[in-house]
Amino acid sequence: MNVEDDVLSPGARSSLLFQVIPHVWGAAFAAHLEHGRDAAVARADAAVAALEQLRRSPPPALETIAAKSGQDISEHDFRGWYRICDGLRKGPIEAALNPATEQEIEDAYRAYGRAKGDFF
């Protein structure tokens, strides 16, 4: 998945992943059909099981997404990025009623700083 997929609200992310299940199954089946029908079905089922696990898992924390990007983000830029992504993830109503606090953003920036080295 790319960064945009990770930032989506959990509901939107789950919905998008659910929509691709038949396509993933079909592609995996077709890719392994040369090994026989049973093997192709087993591989297709395994691919869908992995996708289901991803669909049900919570999206990564925003600071983890930033750290995985490999970008060196200033605190000022991180604050703006975090607010936007938090709003996208929450949706317009929840974001308006419950915006990210300054403390949440500061904590996230510190976590981003600690995690940057984990992805190089």
Domain boundaries, the chain: 3-56, 62-119
The helix (run of H) or strand (run of E) holding residue 35 is none
**Span 55-69, pLDDT tens digits:** 888 888 999 999 998
Model-wide pTM > 0.85: no
- Residue 108's pLDDT is 97
Is the model's pLDDT at 42 over the cut of 90?
A: yes
What backbone torsions phi and psi does residue 89 show, to the nearest 5 degrees? Answer: -70, -40
51, 13 contact by CB (below 8 A): no
DSSP H/E element including 65: helix 62-68
